[in-house]
Amino acid sequence: MVDEDPCPEAAAAVPAWRERVRARLAEMLGSPPPAVPLDAEVTDEVDAGDHVRRRILYDVEPTMSVPAYLLVPKDRVDGPPGAAVLAVHGHGPGKEMICGLTGPDDEHYALQLVRLGYVVLAPDLRCFGERQDPQWSPEAHKYDCDWNLIAATMAGAVPLAQNLWDLQRSVDLLCALPLVDPDRIAVAGLSYGATMSLFLAATDDRIGAAIVSGYLSSWRAAHSVPWNMCGSQVLPGQLGRLEHLDVASLVAPRPILVESGTEDPLFPVDAARATVAALRRVYAALGADPDRVEHDVFEGGHRWHGARTEAFLAGPW
């Protein structure tokens, strides 16, 4: 909650407060670019045993395309429309990791989701995976997304808003797929993927449910942790104007699952507990069931847990 515009204690004041948050967030994100036809094409297909993995490429701007993996369960390849999940990676190799092609098993959440029966779209965000233009060096102590923030700032652009636009166009793609029920699309992500999952659910009502892992706490608690913020996950002037609770309030009344590790050094669990408690009060004030805000606090650090994923997505949304 921000000091200048705190979430009101009086339930009757919550809707107006939330609309002020919505307007403030829209101002900070800026205007999106003009939409272009997706012109999606499948460039490769692999039989991965229990699912099919397709590399797909689609346009989001006149000079920008997104590479992604589309994971389809074998028993849904020719089936009727059903639920889908947009899986958003965090820092690291990009879509390769969460789809199970590299990295530790507990980071393979796109693979977990397709094995639960969901069609899964896993795009590369800007500065990651196939969209990386490596410029990092140990001496520079900068991620590619930090270099990108410098270039974007000079051009008057906001990298978080650019990636948010790409994800909104990814939802457009899912909605257009015959395999997908456009009323049954969820989003899930860890760390930076959780940042983008939260912002996407807050700004796009087509997202029916959200899994936010290793992120939801507060910027006030997290921004001072060394190495914790990169150029892709900040908005100009956000401290004092916008908090995790503010963004999360815009997800209501849709269900949200928050995962927090007790030993997470980046997003402190006590701040996460306080934000989740406040978010439940927001849901109640809006006439929504506060139990639609689930909090999985697990023993461990900054990682995907996944213990409640199946039950959460099987519930109403």
Residue closest to 126 by CA, chosen among 153, 160, 155 = 160
Q: How far is CA 74 from the centre of its chain?
A: 26
Global confidence as pTM: 0.95
- Structure tokens belonging to residue 79: 């089936």
Q: For residue 294, what is the enclosing H or E element?
A: strand 293-298
Q: Residue 3: what pLDDT?
A: 44
DSSP string, 122-163: EEPPTTSGGG------TTTT--HHHHHHHHHHHHT--HHHHH
pLDDT in tens, the chain (317 residues): 444 456 787 889 999 999 999 999 999 999 999 989 999 999 999 999 999 999 999 999 999 999 999 999 999 999 899 999 999 999 989 999 999 999 988 899 999 999 999 999 999 999 999 998 766 555 656 678 888 888 888 888 999 999 999 999 999 999 999 999 999 999 999 999 999 999 999 999 999 999 999 999 998 888 778 777 788 888 988 888 999 999 999 999 999 999 999 999 999 999 999 999 999 999 999 999 999 999 999 999 999 999 999 999 999 99
Q: What is the pLDDT of residue 1?
A: 42
Q: How many residues does the chain have?
A: 317
Reported as type and span, the H/E element at residue 170 is: helix 159-176
pLDDT recorded at residue 134: 65
- Backbone phi and psi for residue 292, each to the nearest 5 degrees, phi listed first: -70, -10
> Rounded to the nearest 5 degrees, what angle is found at the Cα of 166, between the Cα atoms of 154 and 82?
170
At 223 the pLDDT is 77
Fold of 11-314: Rossmann fold (3.40.50)
Check whether the bond before 253 is cis (ω within 30° of 0). Answer: yes
CB atoms within 10 A of CB 304: 27
pLDDT at 2: 47
Helix residue ranges, H only, 75-130:
95-98, 109-115
Task: Please report which helix (H) or strand (E) contains residue 84, including its range.
Answer: strand 82-88
The residues pairing with 156 across neighbouring beta strands, listed in sequence order, are: none
Dist CA 298 CA 316 (whole Å): 24
- Distance between CA atoms of 102 and 278, rounded to whole angstroms? 37
User: What's the confidence (pLDDT) of residue 305?
Assistant: 98
Q: Which residue has the tokens 């990386």?
A: 132
The domain segmentation of the chain, as residue ranges, is 11-314
